[in-house]
Amino acid sequence: MQIKTIKAYRVVQPFVDGPYRMSKGRVADCFDAVIVAITSDSGVTGWGEMAPLGNFYSAAFPAGTRAGVVEIAPHLIGQDPRGLAGIGRLMDTVFKGHPYIKSALDMACWDLAARAADVPLVTMLGGRESDMAETYRVVTHGTLDQMAALAKRIIAEGCRRLQVKVGGNVHDDIDRVTAVASAVPKSTVIFCDANAGWTPYQARQFADATRGIDYTFEQPCTTIEENMSVRRMLDKPMVLDESVISLEAMLDIHRLGAADGLTLKISRLGGVTRTRQIRDVAVDLGFMITVEDTGGAEIDTAAMAHLSLSTPEERRLHAIAFHEWVTVRTAKNAPPVTGSHMGIPDGPGLGIDVDPSLLGKPFFEIG
């Protein structure tokens, strides 16, 4: 089997609930996605997707993704898409760094390989560990009243897990989290996510003032060492996200004892191949795991769901249904969401049925 054609589409995906706000004025109105279709000489097509959250969230930006896919794709023509490790090495050889650019291409190869084998992707990722994964929803940065009202609405809609955005003015964020915690049942699972927005001094201020609230601290500072300095005085679990950029970084986190859990972003790591590798090692090392991404619709959410449900249930934290965030549709048979749980679609590969007519005209095509 060989790769015969590659098409790439740009799909702007506006948010259902309006602008997504983080601390320090960081805001995005949409996911600006690149969707890739890779077709083999046997006529099987695999799909991949990558979408940064603005230009501020990670070292990735939409225009860079589009430009990079055009550079890499010609080198993949004629390659066996089932040789997933070799595809990864080839992409790293012809295009150094920038793992986010390679993510959709890698994902499409996984989808194609699983469809060719007529098995769900979850089977190739280690097997299905449970039927559904529990999801969380985000309380974005805003005023006390806005955040408390949003938290109440989310809980009323059946979700039991909240990620509360912090990382701005410490004293204001103390008040915000206190307001949110007071507005929801005590059984609500709360993560306080600073998105690396604080210095260790600020993070310690926040942690000390909120000792009476039950939450998990998520990525308060930028570097592993800074987060470790906070963890030394912390009496709560800590999860790292932005720090997990490679297998080597994950092993450093383990060596230092800097976290209890990890959030693995598919595009940040370069695709399904490396996410699965790091996930499996991290599970064996005892970490709790969340698998998600920086954004996307049905294609990317399906990949997250397959990776989540192939993670041992006792090591899985939660998942997120990104396709419910956006106003556009890219595929039928999306990952099913029932209440606060998400499953995987029926069918081979990712299980979704992408409708190319919903994607517009490709910005790139070869083969």
Q: For residue 54, what pLDDT is reported? A: 65
User: What is the distance, to the nearest Å, from the Cα of residue 120 to the centroid of all Cα atoms in its chain?
Assistant: 20
pTM for this one?
0.95
Q: Where are the beta strands (DSSP E) in 18-58?
A: 20-21, 27-28, 30-40, 45-50
Tens-place pLDDT, residues 31-54 = 899 999 999 999 999 999 999 876
pLDDT digits over 91-112, tens only? 999 999 999 999 999 999 999 9
Answer yes or no: is pLDDT of 128 > 70. yes
- Residues 222-259 have pLDDT tens digits of 999 999 999 999 999 999 999 999 999 999 999 999 99
Kindly report, residue by residue over 165-211, the tens digit of the pLDDT: 999 999 999 999 999 999 999 999 999 999 999 999 999 999 999 99
- Predicted local confidence at residue 57, as pLDDT: 64
Catalytic site residue from 4, 186, 265, 361: 265
Query: Is 12 in contact with 27 (CB distance < 8 Å)?
Result: no
Task: Encode pLDDT of 307-321 as tens digits.
Answer: 999 999 999 999 999
Q: What does pLDDT average to over the chain?
A: 95
Confidence of residue 19 (pLDDT cuts 50, 70, 90): confident
Could you tell me how many helices (H) and strands (E) the chain has, helices first?
12, 18
Q: Is 265 annotated as catalytic?
A: yes
Task: Report how far residue 342's alpha carbon sits from residue 25's, in angstroms, rounded to the nearest whole number.
Answer: 31
Among residues 24, 96, 165, 361, which one is catalytic?
Answer: 165
Closest CA to 98 of 303, 271, 291, 295: 271
What is the per-residue pLDDT for 357? 94
pLDDT of residue 286: 98
Average confidence (pLDDT) over 348-353: 98
C-alpha count within 13 angstroms, C-beta hemisphere, residue 81: 33
CB atoms within 10 A of CB 108: 33
Provide the percentage of residues in the chain whose pLDDT is more than 70: 98
| Cβ-contact 91, 72 below 8 angstroms | yes
Count of CA atoms in the C-beta half-sphere (13 A) of 46: 34
Catalytic (active site) residue 4: no
Q: Can you give the pLDDT at residue 17?
A: 80
User: What tokens does 353 get?
Assistant: 């049925």
Residue 10 CA to residue 8 CA, distance in Å, equals: 7
DSSP 50-77: E--STTTSSS--HHHHHHHHHHHHHHHT
State mean pLDDT over 107-133. Answer: 98
Identify whether the C-beta of residue 91 lies closer than 8 Å to the C-beta of residue 271: no
